[in-house]
Structure 1
Amino acid sequence: MDVTSILDKLNAAQEEAVTSDRQHLLVLAGAGSGKTRVLVHRIAWKIQVDNISPYSILAVTFTNKAAREMRERIDELMGMSLRGMWVGTFHGLAHRLLKAHWKDVKLPENFQILDSDDQLRLVKRVMRSMDLDEQRWPPKQAQWWINGQKDEGLRAAHIQETGDPHMATMLRIYREYEEVCNRLGVIDFAELLLRALELWRDHPAVLDHYQQRFQHILVDEFQDTNAVQYAWLRLLAGKVSGVTAVGDDDQSIYGWRGAKVENILHYERNYPDTHTVKLEQNYRSTSNILTAANAVISKNAERMGKSLWTDSGEGEPIALYAAFNEHDEARYIADRLQSWVNQGNLREDSAILYRSNAQSRVLEAALLQADIPYRIYGGQRFYERLEIKNALSYLRMMMNCHDDVAFERVVNVPPRGIGDRTVETIRALAREDQISMWRASEKIVTEKRMPGRAINAVAVFLELINEMSGQLEELELYEQAENAIQRSGLIEMHKREKGERGQARVENLEELVGACRNFEAEDKDLPILPQFLDQVALDSGDGQADEDQDAVQLMTLHSAKGLEFPLVFIAGVEENLFPHKMSLDEPGRLEEERRLAYVGITRAMQKLYLTFAESRSIYGTESFNSVSRFVRDIPKDVIEEVRLQNTISRPTSYAGSGSMHSDSGDETGFSLGQGVNHQVYGEGVILNFEGNGPRARVHVRFAEVGTKILILASANLMAL
């Protein structure tokens, strides 16, 4: 049999993975190593060489896009359509199972799947029936908690009471939510997999049927599986079916949403007869970029170990830029992007990556200033994000309480017991009397036109806005913003949200305070708040680039997984930002941050820029953080430091104390060993200088916070 079409253009490791006859195969596929090719060609090998029926193969991946691509590539390689083969996402395949066995799982034949918004509405309905205060018990937090339990394979009946009041309330909500869903005959996305798992556990004959049918199971992105997905796979595989797991433990970055890197780390333990193949040849990046990625990820203790390599040459050095502050960093990135375009390159072949969503605000401003079209990948521009629009609406209400658009947006955000019926009553009166909704609300409260509970809720809102408005003249702009997000309860509402999304919303709100702190009014004689809101509206009017417009891509590092670009900037590579400050005290989370750095670096194909700010206004507070430990892990022979004078030299300051250059501190007014005082960090001792004069960087060991690297020009140190 001629197998040239299957094995053609495969390297030795890929061919070993494709042709392996072992029952269980683990393919450790490094970034850019051709894992999809291996999956597709292994399926073709099974069908064409091993004479396996396509109907006995199950291929699982994580996104509909990946599933479509896999099916298309299989059809193309085989030269025919294999419609009978099951290829899909975990949720898609689970849905297919439940549709076929709806009676066994006690669902209506045409059961409805709730999307995230539908589920949240149902959770709110359940909580209202339980008479729970939504401010104390945010529905989104309850939704997250319920889905988290389902991802672990746990029903409410499986969870033991611990005596914790919070846990007890969450459990009550979960029980009631389950009952309502069963009564309505609806299921949410997390329920799809849990119900499919229970189908097999509770109906051995059904499980036996699928175990006999699916003799070969192939799983993509195995490092991203959660507890219920792994249990589902293990049950289906049983002792007969062969499993090919393809993944990369070094790219496991979704622990915050339930993914368990242990599933791939312990795979060989769970399946002792596993044959492991490592795909280490990279077809994406230059050697210098891979050297950096290997060096960063090698510091993780919990990994299976592999080292990426390429035969495509060294490529350009990695550029490291130490910016004066975040605005200088953003301007530098915009300048480099413009040079890239001037050389005949497309903007869409470049990307700016960042750890925190809040970083995009300053970057967006710099790109708008430079007239560089951009697009937020998988997200929204800063001022279009839900939490920011809510905060801006409070500011608009503080300035003009008769702003009906702002009124409707925040009258019940955070929830304060003002439901849709109450809002419709207010709206109807406003239309009838041709007055603002604020005036209508005052009239309803005064004349007691609604039930007492609704009247009290509206009165509390009116009083809140009145109090906040009364403080406008005595507060600076940033204090007005702080007042808006604190007094309204917005910041507290999002702090109660668990996971990365809630944290990102909090950081965005705090970044709004920073934007207000840095805003300069054009007319000093006029109130500053309306000038700020006007500028925000004008910036929003510019909009993102159209879908077909050549534009640079902006995205978080998490969103960048699976993508690649010839030119990549990673902004904000400094301690407490990346790695994130929340990860520093937890070894497991710090290792995930390091994996995130590895993912970011390996997105770059030709040129990689790393940038950090020596002083950064983070969420309204100026901070002085040292360059990220991830940068210090990179070998100095593959990195070049870009100086402020636009000259390039070998790095002297980033690579750790062993290679740190020490100057005398000439023309700084300070000397080594001298005691100094900083208005934020307190008393300290000068350990080292980098450079001379006012632009010098100085290393100071402070008694309270340890060693910090500061720019003399902005540090305002006082000699002791």
Structure 2
Amino acid sequence: MLTTEELLADLTEPQRQASMHVDGPLLIIAGAGSGKTRVLTRRVAHLISIGIPAPSILAITFTNKAAGEMKERVGKLLGRPIRDIGRLDQRLPMICTFHSLCMRILRHYGPRIGMPERFTIYDSSDQTKVVKDALKMLDISSQNFTPGQVHSAISSLKNQLVTPEDYARNASAFYERNVARIYGKYQQLLTANNAVDFDDLLMKTVHGLRDHADVLAELQERFQYILVDEYQDTNHAQYVLTHALALKHRNICVVGDPDQSIYAWRGADIQNILDFETDYKNALVVRLEQNYRSTKTILALASGLIARNTRRKEKGLWTENVDGQPAKLYICQTEDDEAETIVNELRQEHEQNGRAWSEMAVFYRMNSLSRVIEEKFMRSRIPYQIARGVEFYNRKEIKDVLSYLRVLVNPADEVALDRVINTPTRGISDETVRKIQVHGVGRGLSLWQALELVNEIEGLTTRAVKSVQLFVQMLTALQNKAHQVESASIANGNEGMFAESSAGTVQSIMHEVVER
């Protein structure tokens, strides 16, 4: 492991000050391109180098990518890799996202705070399906209350830590009263399925710690040094969680920049960072103002624009980089004129200045705006690549595989069960599933429990009953096998389930799933 001097050798004075601070609250105002990741990683390594136990350090990021990068950098500084086992009881610094932290807390303390030992985390498509089911059960028109709008409203409420009961008490307008009903039914369905959504991870953790002081005390003692990245983008639930964890020891370091707050539309509250010095008296404030990324021209333009903001922390960004080319502003009359201007600029840069096509990029506000530009590129024979596509976990074959694995762990997960019951086609029609569901609801049974009793259900064909029984037998065998082998082995031994997959063999799919 590097010595303290080696850890801090290449840092500027403000970076050294932030990295070496140990006890008490610390606010790092980190301008764009000012080396905040370097400071965060050096700070974690420095704490460990002076004898702070590694498991008492918690670093929270906003993305898995950022967490992965930080783990890799800290591992190199420590001289040993940070191998994250995905649990709360690991003996290394905890570097993860808010949602990952909450998942670990709920899995570890679940029975003590009223959570089932095993639960499924629903993704956005699962959540949309549950909202649709709730609308159907309540006989509410999805034309007037679209699933997307309703789920957005529910997500916003959860980020504010508002429960269905809280919201229903204050709902007065027609729209609010119906959203309250849908929210309540949505939560009932999640509970019946032993499932949570992403927002539940935060809300249930915060409420669990609020209602169980003993669990909160254990976590406060465990995480005595807390670091939070991108603090300007925290929402109310994230703010309450970090404040609760840091309340005892007050060794909290937050890094952020009000000028870079871009997630207000999904609940981020810039006031969290603006009020840090009020929440934590005598906090040390360090400003990282040297920019390593941009030219002087770009920095001057950005600083001149953002200076007009009123809710911000003052700082003076500067750089030792070159002046760079002047920025240009084009005002075009139509989207065709705009696309033509872009093509002409890129072609000139390529043909006259020798710049490779791969060194140029076009940014646009919405995906739909790319169409005219793409057409112009094709006509002009300019090679291009669109940096978007179906995300890995949204691919049909991946969702099919994961749904099978979810059912093995949690048979009450009706969203996953409904997805795989006839995938691939095995002669179980939608009408058969509907009759089984009706039978189960009338007797207080889950879908899985009703499937196990399929021979008692009237109105099903002999073929349908046989198909369901074979499906139940297959899953039961896999559930028994799941206690003995890893997930990849289960899937690899049952390629027939995924024979219609468009992604090739199940081995290749499962390899990607396990790697991710």
Common fold by TM > 0.5 = yes
Q: Could you tell me whether the CA contact under 8 Å between 1:216 and 1:242 is conserved in 2? A: yes
Of 157, 161, 168 in structure 1, the residue corresponding to residue 170 of structure 2 is 161
User: Is residue 115 from structure 1 mapped to residue 123 from structure 2 by the alignment?
Assistant: yes
> What CA deviation, in whole Å up to 9, does each residue of 1:657-676 have, x standing for no partner?
xxxxxxxxxxxxxxxxxxxx
Equivalent position of 1:12 in the other structure:
13
Matched, 1:194 2:189: no
Which runs of structure 2 are paired with 1:416-565 in the superposition (5 Å)? Answer: none
- Kept after mapping to 1: 8 A contact 2:299/2:318: yes
2:252 equivalent to 1:226? no
CA, structure 1 residues 312+4, in 2 after alignment: closer, same or farther (shift >3 Å)?
Answer: same
Residue aligning to 1:143: 151
In structure 1, C-alpha distance between the alignment counterparts of 2:149 and 2:290, rounded to whole Å: 43
Give the letter for the 2:142 counterpart.
E
Per-residue CA distance 1:324-346 (angstroms, 9 max, x = gap): 53322212212222233344433
3-state SS of the aligned residue for 2:112? coil
Q: Tell me if structure 2 keeps the 8 A contact 1:54–1:82.
A: no
Query: Within the alignment, does 1:307 sit opposite 2:337 as a pair?
Result: no
Q: Structure 2 counterpart of 1:141, which letter? A: Q
Name 1:603's counterpart in structure 2.
none
1:22 is displaced (CA, Å) by: 4.5
> 1-side partners of 2:430 and 2:147: how far apart?
16
Look up the equivalent residue of 1:60 and give its one-letter code.
Answer: I
Asked if residue 66 in structure 1 is aligned to residue 66 in structure 2, the reply is yes
C-alpha distance in structure 1 between counterparts of 2:431 and 2:347, whole Å:
53
CA contact (8 A) 2:233 2:269 kept: yes
- TM-score for both structures, normalised by structure 1: 0.51
The answer as to 2:134 corresponding to 1:126 is: yes
Q: Does 1:345 align with 2:352?
A: no
Question: Would you say the 8 A contact 1:22–1:275 is kept in 2?
Answer: no
Alignment partner, residue 365 of structure 1: 375
Select the residue among 211, 223, 229 that pairs with 1:214: 223
Cα displacement string for residues 28-55 of structure 1 (whole angstroms, at most 9, x for unaligned residues): 1111111100100011111113x11111
TM (normalized to structure 2)? 0.71
- Higher strand proportion: 1
Give deviations 1:672-697, integer Å, cap 9, x for gaps.
xxxxxxxxxxxxxxxxxxxxxxxxxx
1:175 aligns with 2:179: no
SS at match of 1:277: strand
Shift of 1:420: 6.9
User: Secondary structure of 1:256's partner?
Assistant: helix
CA distance in 2, matches of 1:379, 1:228: 31
Equivalent in the alignment of 1:35: 36
SS at match of 2:330: strand
Q: In the alignment, residue 360 of structure 1 is paired with which amino acid?
A: S
**Would the aligned equivalents of 2:295 and 2:319 in 1 still touch at CA under 8 Å?**
yes
* Cα shift readout 1:486-524 (whole Å, capped 9, x = no counterpart): xxxxxxxxxxxxxxxxxxxxxxxxxxxxxxxxxxxxxxx
- 1:90 aligns with 98
Instruction: Please identify the structure whose Cα radius of gyration is greater.
Output: 1
Amino acid at match of 1:35: K
Q: Aligned to 1:94, what secondary structure does the other structure show?
A: helix
Q: CA deviation at 1:285?
A: 0.7
Q: Distance in 2 between matches of 1:378 and 1:302?
A: 33
Q: Using the alignment, how far apart are the partners of 1:341 and 1:361 within structure 2?
A: 22
Secondary structure at the counterpart of residue 363 of structure 2: strand
- Aligned-pair distance for 1:311? 0.7
Q: How does 1:643-658 map to 2 (within 5 A)?
A: none
| Counterpart residue number, 2:81 | 81
Distance (whole Å) between structure 2 residues aligned to residue 198 and residue 191 of structure 1: 10
Distance 1:206 1:98 in 2: 11
Is the 8 Å Cα contact of residues 151 and 258 (structure 1) preserved in structure 2?
yes
Q: Which runs of 5+ in 2 are unaligned?
A: 84-91, 391-428, 435-516
1:227-268 Cα distance to aligned partner (Å, 9 max, x none):
101101001111314111011110101111111111111111
CA–CA distance in structure 2, aligned partners of residues 88 and 263 of structure 1: 20
Measured after TM superposition, the shift of residue 323 of structure 1 is: 3.5
More helix by share: 2
Deviation string, structure 1 residues 575-633 (Cα, Å, up to 9, x no partner): xxxxxxxxxxxxxxxxxxxxxxxxxxxxxxxxxxxxxxxxxxxxxxxxxxxxxxxxxxx
Which residue of structure 2 lines up, in the alignment, with residue 326 of structure 1? 335
> RMSD of aligned C-alpha atoms?
2.1
Contact 1:152 1:227 in 2 (8 A): yes
Tell whether the 8 Å contact from 1:59 to 1:86 is kept in structure 2 after alignment: yes
The one-character-per-residue Cα deviations of 1:74-102 (angstroms, maximum 9, x if unpaired) are 00111113442211110011111111112
Q: 1:22 to 1:101 in 2, by over 3 A?
A: closer
Question: Does the 8 Å contact 2:24/2:252 carry over to 1?
Answer: yes
> Counterparts of 2:156 and 2:81 in 1: how far apart (Å)?
38
Counterpart amino acid of residue 19 in structure 1: M
Q: Please state if 1:52 is matched with 2:58.
A: no
Q: Contact 2:22–2:251 at 8 Å: present in 1 too? A: no
User: Are 1:354 and 2:364 counterparts?
Assistant: yes
Q: Residues 114 and 247 (structure 1 numbering): CA distance in 2 closer, same or farther, change over 3 Å?
A: same
Report SS of the residue matched to 2:116: coil
Mapped to 2, the partners of 1:346 and 1:207 lie a distance apart of 55
Partners of 2:222 and 2:253 in 1: CA distance: 16
8 Å contact from structure 2 (residues 22, 47) kept in 1: no
Given candidates 248, 255, 263, the residue that maps to 1:254 is 263
User: Secondary structure of the equivalent of 1:321?
Assistant: coil
What is the DSSP-based 3-state SS (H/G/I as helix, E as strand, rest coil) of the residue aligned with 2:111?
A: coil
Q: CA deviation at 1:361?
A: 2.4
CA distance in 1, matches of 2:3, 2:141: 69
- Corresponding residue to 2:296 among 287, 298, 302: 287
| Aligned-partner residue type, residue 293 of structure 1 | A
How far apart in 2 are the matches of 1:137 and 1:206? 39
**2: CA distance, partners of 1:318 / 1:250:** 21
Q: Which amino acid aligns with 1:177?
A: Y
SS of corresponding position for 1:88: strand
Q: Describe the superposition over 1:373-418 as per-residue Cα deviations: whole angstroms up to 9, x where unpaired.
A: 32333468xxxxxxxxxxxxxxxxxxxxxxxxxxxxxxxxxxxxxx
User: Match of 1:21, as an amino acid?
Assistant: V
